[in-house]
């Protein structure tokens, strides 16, 4: 059930059916350096390969490419298989955007997430199962970026695109056991939100000034506003 704009993902068909071929295809061979051509050569070795088939961890090739921050491969798979893959989840509900948010390479994870959002990734799809004791169900990419990878650039990007932390809109960190972590996460989110509010106010003031002070037509002022927003996103 959706709460405050979040949605549980739709998992790939037969999420509990593993493909033994992927033991040799996905885990050893899909990496941050795998090229589209190398991927095509790998897939060609498995005539029955379908992108929705997954390994024992529930990862498909698109999830693993996102997890590795491999943007070229990610785009290649989506171009071949279609954008419907982007918001599909693993057996735990990890979408490609959630996987990108988990990328240990902060810069690569941010760029992969940015590409996925441009392709239509839903920033508020949640996991459906708890992965571990410190990775609960119903968490969003923003939760992962704030709690797991502390990726400030990604936090700002997600917030700018309407992300919320999770259904209860609170930080799922045990306050008693992880007080320092909770403070750290709160600080990250506050910094990101403050910057975005400042940017919105500055851009809104510019639009108002163009129309009121310089008699610029409102449609032109809106174009300037939209361009300023795009420039901000491009330079986060």
State the Rg of the chain over Cα: 20
pLDDT of residue 126: 87
Question: What span, in angstroms and rounded, lies between the C-alpha atoms of 51 and 74?
Answer: 12
The torsion defined by the Cα of 37, 102, 10 and 140, in degrees rounded to 10, comes to -150
Positions in the chain whose pLDDT score sits under 50: 1-4, 15-17, 169-170, 175-176
Could you say which DSSP state residue 85 is in?
G
**Long-range contacts at 152-156 (CB < 8 A, ≥ 24 apart):** 152/188, 152/191, 152/192, 153/106, 153/110, 153/236, 154/101, 154/106, 154/109, 154/110, 154/113, 155/188, 155/189, 155/192, 156/192, 156/195, 156/196, 156/236
162: left (phi over 0), alpha (psi -120 to 50) or beta: left
pLDDT of residue 97: 96
The torsion defined by the Cα of 14, 15, 18 and 22, in degrees rounded to 10, comes to 110
pLDDT of residue 116: 96
CB 51 within 8 A of CB 18: no
Question: What span, in angstroms and rounded, lies between the C-alpha atoms of 19 and 48?
Answer: 10
pLDDT of residue 51: 76
CB 71 within 8 A of CB 115: yes
pLDDT of residue 235: 77
Residues contacting 167, CB < 8 A, separation 6+: 3, 4, 6, 126, 138
pLDDT of residue 101: 95
As a whole number of Å, the end-to-end CA separation of the chain is: 32
């Amino acid at each position: 059930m959706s709460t405050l704009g979040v949605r549980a993902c739709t998992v790939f068909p037969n999420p509990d059916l593993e493909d033994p071929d992927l033991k040799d295809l996905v885990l050893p061979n899909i990496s941050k350096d795998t090229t589209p051509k190398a991927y095509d050569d790998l897939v060609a070795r498995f005539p029955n390969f379908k992108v929705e088939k997954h390994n024992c961890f529930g990862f498909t090739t698109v999830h693993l490419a996102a997890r590795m921050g491999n943007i070229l491969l990610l785009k290649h798979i989506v171009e071949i298989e279609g954008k419907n893959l982007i918001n599909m989840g693993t057996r735990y509900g990890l979408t490609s955007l959630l996987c990108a948010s988990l990328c240990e390479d902060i810069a690569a994870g941010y760029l992969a997430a940015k590409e996925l959002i441009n392709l239509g990734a839903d920033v508020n799809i949640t996991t459906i199962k708890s992965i571990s004791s410190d990775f609960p169900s119903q968490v969003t990419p923003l939760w992962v970026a704030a709690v797991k990878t502390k990726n400030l650039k990604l936090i700002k990007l997600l917030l700018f695109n309407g992300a919320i932390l999770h259904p209860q809109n609170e930080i799922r960190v045990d306050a008693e056991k992880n007080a320092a972590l909770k403070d750290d996460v709160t600080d990250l989110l506050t910094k990101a939100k403050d910057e975005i509010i400042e940017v919105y106010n500055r851009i809104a003031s510019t639009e108002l000034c163009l129309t009121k002070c310089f008699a610029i037509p409102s449609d032109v002022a809106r174009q300037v506003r939209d361009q300023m927003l795009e420039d901000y996103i491009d330079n986060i």
